[in-house]
DNA sequence: GTGTAATCGAGACGGTACGTCTCGTCTTCTG
DNA sequence: CAGAAGACGAGACGTACCGTCTCGATTACAC
């Protein structure tokens, strides 16, 4: 499942796990070394010592390779400590994402994925379903537990809050306007928390998009 | 200013503004119709009734065309009402971005731009300098005024807050995991505001990234 | 040999002889139909149902394609009857050249070749080495046998004589000032054999370029 | 006449003769320096310090420029001594052609002309009418006088003989298989005059196809 | 002289073809 | 007999010239 197929298009199981790993490593290396555009299917095949046909047998596109390479490296970034506060849970998730993107080839892989997703709906869908959805489900559960425990507002807009937590990380990853580091993720989560913290102190109605005079 | 040059690579001024407009329109149309990958330089030239050499004379790459097309359409999305609260200012900016992306070809253009920026540093830089920087400067000024007026915390992390306001919009634009609409932008700003609002009620220290068991 | 490589630039052997033939046929057809300038590499590729890269893999230029197409059609224009007089040998060679140029696509191909050779030294060299040299060697052997048998003068300038035999054919092929047909070739050979001077008064030494008043 | 229009397409008179000369010189220089393909219309215009439109106003194509440049340099290669034998007349004409091609830029110009003529019928026609015809007319007159005076056979094939005299020069100019020099031209003319058959044994019927016993 | 027109250089323009590149498929041949 | 090696059709890339066209600046001529 999590370690399963890439873009949902693969049919056969590869004969050798080593070959898979070699290919995915080659893709990651190429993206690190020569930028995204150096990682052509041809270059990946050559680097991995593999025929192009083998690549296309297992993955339908460069994005699918990137997705699987990314999933492989991201597989262990899932552990969430139990019985933790919502704030700590979100912090752990956000920091883990930053670490994944800055300390492994998953960063360039995600950039390639996001770029390809703009023109390849299959990649976009696979990315959403295989990467974003499960992560968001975990984070949503954290939010829901926080809402139940009273740590968080009961009327929280869960989806918007998920975006507030994760979006800044991807934003900096993709646009590089400011450095992406762990302290940034923590600042964002902290900032978001004080907004979603239990009421008693935020006199302004959260959503009324006609409201004025906030204070 | 807003109607200025594109990727910083152009040197001469085109003789005819109509030709420019035709090219930029063709690029926008192709991206709307056939997805990002339909907007090749060749297709743009053919659609605009223009020689390829003309394209390359004015713009060095497809991304540069997209950037200028985007800047053109985004030129009038700048007006910010005067003497307005920080929350209203941020709301206006976020909603304007959503409107730009959902009601004009600027959405596909920005998606193309973001995709190209992943493998073309020149595009990335131009995008940061020509689009993101000025917008962020305006928003930063709003934040600073809010801090001065007491509407916002005095110890605000300005850069992180800017990302919290804008990132969700780009996140949904690029990944389409949830619909991008104005109410989403307003929800995000409201959520962020209640976090950055003046103190007196937010017991959790914003930055304590070791605290546990808040509940 | 005759079916060998073209401009000396090819390295690999094509996998399919049919493809080769289709390409060469397309080139010949295009030259017949639309003149020399209709036979662009792009048109040849399209007509032959072949990618442009395939053309460039095997041949470095249009001239190389023309050369090989020409050599292919000219391959069987080599047979020379044995034990024949010098005059008859030269006549056969000259007439065979005329037939080749007037009854097959080799005529347009040679015109293309000659034209390209003016600005492409590689084509010029290949043309000399692969087409002209062997033909001239055969004709030179005919001349030498004739000199040995007493049919021809012993003090013959062999190279000049070869040019006298072949040049008129190419001259009319390339300039079309007069029709190129077999009787012309035969007239030239006969003229070369017997000379144009009135019989009886050809005592003038062949090379005395200062003599006057021969009459 | 000789200094007249180029390919018969010119209409207006240039304002300055100097400009004409500069253009023609530029064309000749470029052909000498960089081969035929270096002499593009654009390069000629740039080299001559002239706008492209000026070139196209006076000449319709590169071939027309080459033709006029060639005619200009060939204008003085026309003088034929009076009261001279046929052999000497032909010799003078052939040697003059060789000198023209080897000692002036007329050689490259003629090569360009011949190349262009293969794909441009107008150039071909202009070349025939303006260059070849008058030269051949002069040479034909020489032949006819020789026939009348008894120096030459009375049953001469005039056209074939003209080709025998001139073709070798163009043949070596265009194919460069052997050096083109004056002694070659003289050898050819001498050979044509006396024939290559050993004296005394030229009773062999010249060409046994249909005609017999020409003599 | 001074206006009026033609002509020029310069080069932008819509195109065509170039020769190269990568894609995704298909074929061959090797281990 | 699976797979590396890579040929292949397709088509976009960015460049070079083509022949046409529009510009101002520079003439040359009529007044």
The token pair at C104 is 């097959």
Work out the number of other CB atoms within 10 angstroms of the CB of residue A215. 11
Note whether A26 and A47 are within 8 A (CB).
yes
Note whether B100 and B170 are within 8 A (CB).
no
Query: Which of C169, C82, C56, C63 is CA-nearest to residue C123?
Result: C63
User: What CATH number corresponds to the domain at position B113?
Assistant: 1.10.357.10
Q: What tens digit of pLDDT does each residue of D42-95 get?
A: 999 999 999 999 999 999 999 999 999 999 988 876 778 888 899 999 999 999
Q: How far apart are CA D121 and CA D124, in angstroms?
A: 5
Q: How far apart are CA C135 and CA C45, in angstroms?
A: 31
Of C171, C176, C195, the CB nearest to D193: C195
Phi-psi region of B147 (alpha: psi -120 to 50; beta: other; left: phi over 0): alpha
List of chain B residues whose C-beta atoms are within 8 Å of the C-beta of residue A136: 177
C contact residues 155-184, partner D, Cβ 8 Å cutoff: 156-157, 159-161, 163-164, 166-168, 170-172, 174-178, 182-184
Are B41 and B90 part of one and the same domain?
A: no
Any domain includes A202: no
Taking an 8 Å cut-off on Cβ atoms, the answer to whether B88 and A212 are in contact is: yes
Residue C81 domain boundaries: 73-194
Note whether D52 and D124 are within 8 A (CB).
no
pLDDT over threshold 70, residue D15: no
Query: Which of C98, C118, C86, C63 is CA-nearest to residue C168?
Result: C98
Are D170 and D103 part of one and the same domain?
A: yes
Of B37, B133, B206, the CB nearest to A191: B206
Note whether B190 and A63 are within 8 A (CB).
no
Element housing D137 (H / E): helix D133-149
CB-to-strand F contacts below 7 angstroms: A 15-16, 19, 49-54; B 15, 40-43, 51-53, 56, 61-62; C 12, 14-16, 19, 49-54, 57-58; D 15-16, 40-43, 51-53, 56, 61-62
pLDDT over threshold 60, residue D174: yes
Note whether B153 and B197 are within 8 A (CB).
yes
Q: How far apart are CA B165 and CA B176, in angstroms?
A: 18
Are A42 and A77 part of one and the same domain?
A: no
Are D86 and D150 part of one and the same domain?
A: yes
B79 touching A, CB under 8 A?
no
Q: What tens digit of pLDDT does each residue of C92-126 get?
A: 999 999 999 999 999 999 999 999 999 999 999 99
Least confident of B133-137, B199-203, D20-24, D174-178: B199-203
Any domain includes A12: no
Size of interface A-B (CB pairs under 8 A): 209
Q: According to the model, what pLDDT value does residue A83 have?
A: 81
Are C77 and C25 part of one and the same domain?
A: no
Any domain includes D162: yes
Of D85, D119, D156, the CB nearest to C36: D119
Name which residue leads in pLDDT, D107 or A83: D107
Q: According to the model, what pLDDT value does residue D211 have?
A: 37
The token pair at D19 is 């400009």
Are C88 and C181 part of one and the same domain?
A: yes
D213 touching C, CB under 8 A?
no
Taking an 8 Å cut-off on Cβ atoms, the answer to whether C119 and D37 are in contact is: yes
Query: Which of A171, A164, A185, A32 is CA-nearest to residue A109?
Result: A32
Note whether C85 and C147 are within 8 A (CB).
no
Residue with tokens 């692969």: C130
Are C131 and C187 part of one and the same domain?
A: yes
Taking an 8 Å cut-off on Cβ atoms, the answer to whether B203 and A184 are in contact is: no
Nearest CA in chain C to D204: C87
User: What CATH number corresponds to the domain at position B26?
Assistant: 1.10.10.60
Q: What tens digit of pLDDT does each residue of D97-150 get?
A: 999 999 999 999 999 999 999 999 999 999 999 999 999 999 999 999 999 999
Q: Pick the residue of A36, A156, A195 with the most B CBs within 10 A to test the interface with B by mutation.
A: A195
C9 touching D, CB under 8 A?
no
pLDDT over threshold 90, residue B63: yes
Any domain includes C116: yes
Cα of D202 to nearest chain C Cα, Å = 6
pLDDT over threshold 80, residue C12: no
Which phi and psi (to 5°) does residue A152 adopt?
A: -115, 160
For residue C188, give the 3-state DSSP assignment: helix
List of chain C residues whose C-beta atoms are within 8 Å of the C-beta of residue D187: 157, 160, 206-207
Taking an 8 Å cut-off on Cβ atoms, the answer to whether A175 and B36 are in contact is: no
Q: According to the model, what pLDDT value does residue B114 have?
A: 96
Q: How far apart are CA A178 and CA C203, in angstroms?
A: 99
Task: Band the pLDDT of A20: cuts 50, 70, 90.
Answer: confident
Any domain includes C104: yes
Q: How many domains does chain C have?
A: 2
Q: How far apart are CA D127 and CA D135, in angstroms?
A: 11
Any domain includes C102: yes
Q: How far apart are CA D190 and CA D188, in angstroms?
A: 5
Any domain includes B152: yes
List of chain B residues whose C-beta atoms are within 8 Å of the C-beta of residue A175: 114, 117, 124, 127-128, 132, 170
Taking an 8 Å cut-off on Cβ atoms, the answer to whether A159 and B151 are in contact is: no
Task: Band the pLDDT of B15: cuts 50, 70, 90.
Answer: low
Are B138 and B192 part of one and the same domain?
A: yes
Are B81 and B179 part of one and the same domain?
A: yes
Are A45 and A135 part of one and the same domain?
A: no
Of D151, D171, D207, the CB nearest to C163: D171
Are C138 and C178 part of one and the same domain?
A: yes
Neighboring chains of B (3 or more beta-carbon pairs < 8 A) = A
First to last CA, chain B: 51
As a whole number, the mean pLDDT across chain A is 82
Any domain includes A143: yes
% chain C with pLDDT above 90 = 74
Are C98 and C180 part of one and the same domain?
A: yes
Q: According to the model, what pLDDT value does residue D161 have?
A: 96
């Amino acid at each position: 499942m999590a370690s399963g197929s890439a873009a949902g298009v693969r049919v056969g199981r590869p004969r050798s796990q080593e070959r898979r790993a070699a290919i995915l490593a080659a893709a990651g290396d190429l993206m690190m070394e020569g930028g995204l555009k150096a990682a052509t299917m041809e270059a990946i095949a050559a680097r991995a010592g593999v025929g192009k046909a083998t690549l296309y047998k297992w993955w339908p596109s460069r994005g699918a390779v990137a997705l699987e390479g990314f999933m492989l490296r991201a597989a262990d970034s899932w552990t969430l400590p139990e019985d933790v506060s919502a704030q700590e849970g979100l912090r752990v998730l956000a920091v883990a994402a930053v670490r994944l993107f800055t300390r492994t080839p998953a960063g360039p892989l995600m950039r390639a994925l996001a770029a390809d997703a703009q023109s390849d709906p299959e990649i976009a869908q696979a990315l959403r379903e295989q990467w974003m959805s499960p992560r968001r489900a975990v984070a949503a559960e954290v939010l829901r537990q926080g809402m139940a425990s009273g740590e968080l507002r009961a009327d929280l807009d869960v989806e918007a809050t998920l975006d507030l937590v994760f979006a800044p990380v991807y934003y900096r990853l993709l646009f590089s306007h400011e450095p992406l580091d762990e302290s940034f993720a923590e600042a964002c989560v902290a900032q978001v928390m004080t907004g979603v913290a239990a009421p008693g102190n935020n006199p302004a109605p959260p959503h009324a998009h006609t409201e004025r005079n906030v204070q």
